[in-house]
Structure 1
Amino acid sequence: MGPPGASGTINDMVFHGLAYTATPHDRAGSLRVDPARVADLLDRDDSQVLPMWRDRPLLTADGRPVRLTGAPARTLVAAAGQTALLGLDGTTASFAADLSDVEETEALRLATAHRSADLRGLATTLPGPLAATLAYARGLLYWNRHAGYCGTCGATTASAEAGHLRICRGPDCGRQLFPRIEPAVIVLVESPDPQPRCLLARHHGADPNGFSLLAGFVEIGESLEGAVRREVGEEAGVTVGAVTYQGSQGWPFPAGLMVGFVARAVEETIAVDGRELSEARWFTRAEIVERVRNGPGSGPVDSIGGRLLRSWAGLDRPPLRHAED
């Protein structure tokens, strides 16, 4: 294996430790279909309930996410608009409870909390498993809150399978709705020269130094690799050849799945589309190292995009995998 950032064979620990990926739970899919067992778990004194308010975790006075058990947890669940089973950690069950239907002051009172907070602002200060659990809770509760009506007949839907399914109440419909994931690709494009540079772009309205990797949603009927080639071609006018998978990251903000790639450009000419991007250019490894150490950084520290860039620059492990490896 070469130094970080050089070509090398990637191992099974691809991007180990990415934010929001270390969920500690057995998701307990078989339990969800048994309402009696779920109700029993909710009633147990050792079960934990994580309250959320409009996608924001609720915190204690010393900044820790609230986790309730026993009678306080049952009181909160009774007031929640939605409760969802997150899974089991050993024999201990964890649930998420959505207090979005009440005002923030009431949510704080019910949870005996001090304040609410944006999860992304907390993520790097929390243990990985806790950040992942809160992200899971956020995404699942968000989906339930926004899937209250059937897209086929317009009737209301009812929660089922411990918050992992919604069923249309329409008498002639009964459509089942499952949580939706929105896959997106994010790609580090390398130039074709012997000492590769990487392609970064700046969106309209971004800070003058706000360059980042190219990314975009996967379209219907499109492969992940096809999405990489289309996004790079549409936004930067660059044709890429080899496209190599690197890793993925759940991104419940609100419902994403980020899939990371490295791609090799066929030529260096850039022609930005002008609609989404204001400019794009090639950066050397030395320039990326300088940005990380003394400048605007490598992008959000909680994202797979930042990890891709730092790994390419030799500042993080593992090394990136290439098609020729």
Structure 2
Amino acid sequence: MAFDDLAYTGTPHDRVPARRADPEWVADQFARPDVQLVPMWRDRCLLAAGVPIVATGHRSRQIAAAAGESVLLGLEDGTPVFAADLSAVDEPTALRLSAAQESTDLRRLAARLSHPQAATLAYARGLLHWNRHTRFCGVCGSPARSAQAGHVRVCTALDCARVLFPRIEPAVIVLIESPGAEPRCLLARHHGADPDSFSLLAGFVEIGESLEGTVRREAAEEAGVTVGTVTYQGSQGWPFPSGMMIGFVGQALDDRIDVDGAELLEARWFTRGEVVERIVDGPGAGPADSIGGWLLRSWAGLGASPEVRP
């Protein structure tokens, strides 16, 4: 399975880091007649006839005037693309300003969007969310202002002036293989999951850990499985709100399982045939937009989920 099958990856923009620090250049880009503006409301996409709104012309300027924050996503084939946060107004006002009929969560849309569309909306969502939730300096508590077209915030206190960058929270997700001649992988049922809802293990990276160390710790803590070799497979931006999912395959040193009873209710080894049966005729491989499903389908020898458009 190709890495390009992952949702939210590969935004089609030149992010112009050397130019976006120039306020005059950014203003000139927004004043261009071909400028495009992606509006969002409280992390939700705004739709007309089921299609995400991309405003142009006079409407883009109306939206920007009402927005709490606008950011530059970059240039797409030379065309400037911005995103605007309408969270400061109520939903009916946001719909009216953007000529939208409804708002919805991006993950509900992902299966019917092209990869560039989904990646653009994920990028906009994550950057706008960070700006909206980083109003104050974490060191001195003074207000922070937007800079570099929304990609940086700066503390306004002269004796602090701390530069704040978007926070990314890395997490690992791992397909663990058992030892032995017959290929088997570990799937677990998490607390609160449906009786037949099994998935891969995942967890956030802690301070002072390597990614491989996180894989081994999570496997040991949650499932009582000892992992040896850990091999990187791919990564996925996960702006829900600020994650980065990093996928691995791990090799268990033995087939013993001892779930913690807190995070996991049960875990067991599944053969490749059982995984294929679950994907084709059963509950599936998990969310179609997730790297977890990508890892599982890849291990099972299946192609990309039919729910995800190439």
Shorter-chain TM-score category?
A: over 0.9
Q: What letter corresponds to residue 6 of structure 2 in structure 1?
A: L
Q: What letter corresponds to residue 23 of structure 1 in structure 2?
A: T
Residue 107 (structure 1) shift: 0.4
Matched, 1:267 2:251: no
Match of 1:180 among 148, 167, 176: 167
Superposed, 1:218-257 pairs within 5 Å as 218-257=205-244
Aligned to 2:110, what secondary structure does the other structure show? helix
Query: Which structure is higher in RCO with an 8 Å CA cutoff and minimum separation 6?
Result: 1
Measure the CA separation in 1 of the matches of 2:203 and 2:280.
27
Q: What letter corresponds to residue 150 of structure 1 in structure 2?
A: C
Measure the CA separation in 1 of the matches of 2:299 and 2:81.
38
Match of 1:59 among 31, 47, 52: 47
Superposed, 1:145-156 pairs within 5 Å as 145-156=132-143
- Conserved in 2, the CA contact under 8 Å of 1:202 and 1:211? yes
Q: What letter corresponds to residue 33 of structure 2 in structure 1?
A: D
Q: What letter corresponds to residue 66 of structure 2 in structure 1?
A: A
Matched, 1:209 2:161: no
Matched, 1:34 2:22: yes
Structure 2 length normalisation: TM-score?
0.96
Number of positions where the alignment pairs a residue of Structure 1 with one of Structure 2: 304
Match of 2:119 among 114, 123, 132: 132
Residue 15 (structure 1) shift: 1.6
Q: What letter corresponds to residue 183 of structure 2 in structure 1?
A: P
Measure the CA separation in 2 of the matches of 1:85 and 1:171.
26
Measure the CA separation in 2 of the matches of 1:224 and 1:171.
38
- Conserved in 2, the CA contact under 8 Å of 1:25 and 1:88? yes
- Conserved in 2, the CA contact under 8 Å of 1:49 and 1:97? yes
Aligned to 1:30, what secondary structure does the other structure show? coil
Aligned to 1:246, what secondary structure does the other structure show? strand
Measure the CA separation in 1 of the matches of 2:167 and 2:267.
32
Match of 1:167 among 150, 154, 161: 154
Residue 30 (structure 1) shift: 1.3
Match of 2:32 among 44, 52, 61: 44
- Conserved in 1, the CA contact under 8 Å of 2:188 and 2:198? yes
Measure the CA separation in 2 of the matches of 1:314 and 1:152.
50
Query: CA offsets, 1:258-289, max 9 Å, x none?
Result: 10000110011100111111111110111111
Residue 50 (structure 1) shift: 0.2
Query: CA offsets, 1:188-220, max 9 Å, x none?
Result: 000001112100111111000110000000111
* Pairwise CA RMSD: 1.0
Q: Where in structure 1 are there 5+ consecutive unaligned residues?
A: 5-13, 318-325
| Aligned twin of 1:17 | 5
Measure the CA separation in 1 of the matches of 2:58 and 2:281.
50
Residue 173 (structure 1) shift: 1.1
Measure the CA separation in 1 of the matches of 2:26 and 2:72.
8
- Conserved in 2, the CA contact under 8 Å of 1:48 and 1:73? yes
- Conserved in 2, the CA contact under 8 Å of 1:45 and 1:71? no
Aligned to 2:206, what secondary structure does the other structure show? coil
Aligned to 1:20, what secondary structure does the other structure show? coil
Match of 2:129 among 142, 146, 160: 142
Residue 28 (structure 1) shift: 1.0
Q: What letter corresponds to residue 111 of structure 2 in structure 1?
A: T
Aligned identity (percent) is 66
- Conserved in 2, the CA contact under 8 Å of 1:187 and 1:228? yes
Residue 17 (structure 1) shift: 2.5
Structure 1 length normalisation: TM-score?
0.92
Matched, 1:196 2:183: yes
| Aligned twin of 2:274 | 287
Aligned to 2:89, what secondary structure does the other structure show? coil
Q: What letter corresponds to residue 54 of structure 1 in structure 2?
A: R
| Aligned twin of 1:10 | none
Measure the CA separation in 2 of the matches of 1:98 and 1:158.
15
Measure the CA separation in 1 of the matches of 2:58 and 2:5.
35
| Aligned twin of 2:308 | none
Residue 316 (structure 1) shift: 2.5
Q: What letter corresponds to residue 33 of structure 1 in structure 2?
A: A
